[in-house]
């Protein structure tokens, strides 16, 4: 029986973020080159995004390429960028058909021109879609994002556009690349690694964390549904007691 039958559609997280980990290890276990693992990882990403749309999750963010990933061998980076362009081009029609909007967060200007062009084209074509928003974190790291926000705030203060005393959480949020995206209620990481890897550190302050041993290319729809079921079993207190939550205090 699929885990989808155990999901309460009235208690869905509004936003699910995923650290898609394990492509290289999946390929190595099978005697393949790492790039083959990334290709199979795209298949899992497509299936999981469709699963999110199927049950009505509004936002899903995929940690696609971190700023630290630029330190990988050039041939792997080149293959990843090529795969990114091909995948986005191939999936654009499916996104439109399924009413899925594409957004991108991260240091987009550091990506190859052809990647930026394809991403912008797909974002333009899907900007009116509203059922689910797919957010790709590309050339992204949370420390980069936070430092970039601080630099922009400091610049605006220097130009008398902002008063330091007025800085609060809401204002700081407005300087982040995720300023138009709600914080994730659920963060999933695959492959058995129990760490955050510089991903959405500000935004996941109160997210539920779900770790699985499953390598990303093996993570399919029902694995996603299983994570949602696990999330729905948890009590989200935000610093309150269980009694306060029960009595809506």
Instruction: List, by residue number, the catalytic residues.
Output: 21, 69
Residue 194 burial (10 A CB sphere; 0-12, 13-18, 19+): exposed
**Tokens found for residue 172:** 């700081």
Q: How many Å apart are CA 133 and CA 126, to the nearest integer? A: 9
How far apart, in whole angstroms, are the C-alpha atoms of residue 168 and residue 156?
15
Strand arrangement of the beta sheet that strand 15-19 belongs to: 100-105, 132-140, 59-66, 15-19, 186-189, 208-211
Q: Is the distance from CB of 139 to CB of 70 less than 8 angstroms? A: yes
């Amino acid at each position: 029986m699929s885990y989808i039958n155990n999901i309460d559609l009235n208690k869905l997280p509004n936003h699910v973020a995923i650290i898609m980990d394990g492509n290289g290890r999946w390929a190595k276990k099978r005697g393949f080159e790492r790039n083959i693992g990334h290709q199979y990882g795209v298949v899992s990403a497509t299936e999981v995004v469709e699963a999110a749309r199927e049950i009505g999750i509004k936002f899903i963010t995929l940690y696609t390429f971190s700023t630290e990933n630029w330190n990988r061998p050039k041939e792997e980076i080149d293959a990843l960028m090529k795969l990114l362009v091909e995948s986005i081009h191939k999936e654009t029609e499916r996104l439109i058909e399924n009413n899925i909007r594409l957004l991108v967060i991260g240091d987009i200007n550091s990506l190859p021109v052809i990647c930026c062009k394809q991403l912008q084209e797909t974002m333009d074509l899907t900007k009116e879609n509203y059922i689910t928003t797919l957010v790709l974190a590309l050339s992204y790291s949370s420390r980069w994002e936070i430092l970039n926000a601080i630099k922009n705030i400091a610049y605006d203060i220097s130009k008398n556009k902002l008063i330091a005393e007025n800085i609060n959480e809401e204002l700081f949020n407005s300087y982040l690349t995720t300023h138009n995206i709600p914080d994730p209620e659920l963060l999933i990481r695959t492959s058995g690694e129990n760490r955050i890897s510089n991903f959405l550190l500000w935004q996941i302050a109160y997210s539920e964390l779900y770790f699985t041993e499953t390598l990303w290319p093996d993570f399919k729809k029902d694995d996603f549904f299983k994570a949602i079921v696990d999330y729905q079993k948890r009590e989200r207190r935000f610093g309150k007691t269980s009694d306060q939550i029960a009595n809506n205090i």
